[in-house]
Chains A and B, each alone.
Chain A
Amino acid sequence: MSNIAAIEHEIVEDFDLFDDWTEKYQYIIELGQQLKPLEAQYKTDDRKITGCQSSVWLHAYTKDGLVFFESDSDSTFVKGEIALLIKVLSGQAPEEIIKAELNFIDAIGLRQHMAVTRANGLASMIKQMKLYAVGFQSHTA
């Protein structure tokens, strides 16, 4: 099992503890509230992700060949979603990020609770994270 798949597995196990959607929602909110805020200097228009109903900023950098993400949103729930993505993808190698299937999103029942516009927002977020990884990969290759 890859590093990413192992973390995904852990998240799915965490969510299995919850009985209903309210509890899952509350857990995601907690994660959002705990997410480290993005420094103001990174909240720029070029770091803003389009396709989300809320404002979302994503900042990425590399260290020792690994990609790290920091992010923020005006929605705590979206921050919670980002926190999950960061848990899975931040600190991984670019090639691992690019091929990550992120099956945990379906497995924890997140996608079924989102209207299409919101699901698109999450898709935009993932796409942007992967684009950063591609950028860093070609940069270091």
Chain B
Amino acid sequence: MIKSTAPEIKPRLFKVEELRADFPVLFQTAYNKPLVYLDNAATSQKPQIVIDALSDYYSTCNANIHRGVHFLSQKASQAFDDVRTKVKDYIGAGSEREIIFVRGTTEAINLVASSWGRKNLSAGDVVLVTTMEHHSNIVPWQLICAEKGAEVIPVPMDDRGVLDMQAFETLLTDKVKFVSVVHTSNSLGTINPVDVIVQKAHEKNIPVLVDAAQAVAHEVIDVQALNCDFLAFSGHKMFGPTGVGVLYGKEKLLEAMPPYQGGGEMIAQVSFAGTTFNELPYKFEAGTPNIADVIGLGAAIDYMNGVDRAAAADWELSLMRSTAEQLSTIPGIRLIGTAPHKAAVVSFVVDGVNALDLGMYLDTLGIAVRTGHHCTQPVMDRLGIPGTIRASFMFYNTQQEVDALVVGVRKGINLLRA
């Protein structure tokens, strides 16, 4: 049954094995070896409660929402609307009107670039990003800037992957009309001082979008405390289903923005003489929404609310530190992304060993890591490397998995250097 209120989950002490048991996918073998999943920055695994929510929705509740007068439609509408409230509370937004359901972070940024950008950017304007953006926070801005004759300028970083805040202030000229920055770098793990960025930009009345795709599963974000104008994140990186994400936007800004896509749900009145648009948040949600996955996202939020987040974050950082320390002792390994303030991501390169080759070797041992540029080619260009091997952690990972990775890396290097 889909419940209209969150199931009661008592906060509990952090115990990795107990939490791990909530994630059925982790209990399997790959090529007859225990699966070691260290690709959490790409997507998180899903707890049983999320899987059940999806199945329950289709088993007991499936109907199109908001337009039906019948029992099922009202039940589905209620479950869907409840998630908007959960998301609002989860990120500390002021109102449900500020929560737009989208496909993911990428669509959220495209929405803002397309809608806000088309209305507000003109020739000579600048959109400020950083060198360490995911391509999803570069290309949407390049597209709209090319159309408008505006320019996308990146704030540089140093060799450790720390943002150059002095350069940020210098680059924050009168030409800058928008700042779009990544909260936590997916390839380096760097956590950027987004609060300072927001504050400095606001001193010049420049709105700021924060790409929180890599942050939401690992730390609590309060949009009112942060005071960002937009926040974008994906459900699948925070234990929810793929294909659903959230754009938070300040109501005043969203009100002033034109619709992004046209269709059902987003209209008030349609005639060939002209169409008026629905109010927020529906103005930006054309077509039947991804009802099931939104409900799955709601279950993911319930799940996270039941986890001791601070203890989970500490555990992830301890895994990250252990990995970094052990890998550092292996000759020829260079850690990439060594910012003092960083998330549970370890990226590295090995002298004389191709990253793809080592990643494939680890795969033969059942260890899932990611290799390549991680959709951050400007980062790799800046550091003069083609790509890295990246292990990224979630609180359900264990010290044994870290140790298996380190052993695998050692063996792989011996094999590949032979």
Contact = CB atoms under 8 A, between A and B. Distances in A.
B211 to A, nearest CB: 24
Contacts of A74: 354, 386
Contacts of A21: 31, 364
Contacts of A20: 31-32, 364
Interface residues of B, number: 15
A33 B415 CA distance: 10
Contacts of A76: 354, 357, 416
A43 B386 CA distance: 18
Nearest to B386: A74
B372 A29 contact: no
B356 A25 contact: no
Interface residues of A: mostly helix, strand, loop or mixed?
Answer: helix
Interface of A: 20-22, 25-26, 29, 33, 53-54, 74-78, 113
Contact of A26 (B31, B386, B415): B415
A75 B356 contact: yes
A22 B357 contact: no
Given A33-B418, A53-B372, A76-B416, A25 B354 contact: no
A29 B415 contact: yes
Contacts of B364: 20-22, 25
B79 interface: no
12 contacts: A20-B31, A21-B364, A29-B357, A29-B361, A29-B415, A53-B356, A75-B357, A76-B357, A77-B356, A77-B357, A78-B356, A113-B363
A31 to B, nearest CB: 13
Given A25-B361, A77-B356, 15 more contacts: A20-B31, A20-B32, A20-B364, A21-B364, A22-B364, A25-B360, A26-B415, A29-B361, A29-B416, A53-B356, A53-B372, A54-B354, A74-B354, A74-B386, A76-B357
A20 B37 CA distance: 20
Nearest to A80: B357
Contacts of B356: 53-54, 75, 77-78
A76 B386 CA distance: 15
B360 A77 contact: yes
A51 to B, nearest CB: 14
Interface string B348-374: 000000101100110111000000100
Nearest to B363: A113
Contacts of B372: 53
Contacts of B354: 54, 74-77
A21 B354 CA distance: 19
Contacts of B365: 22
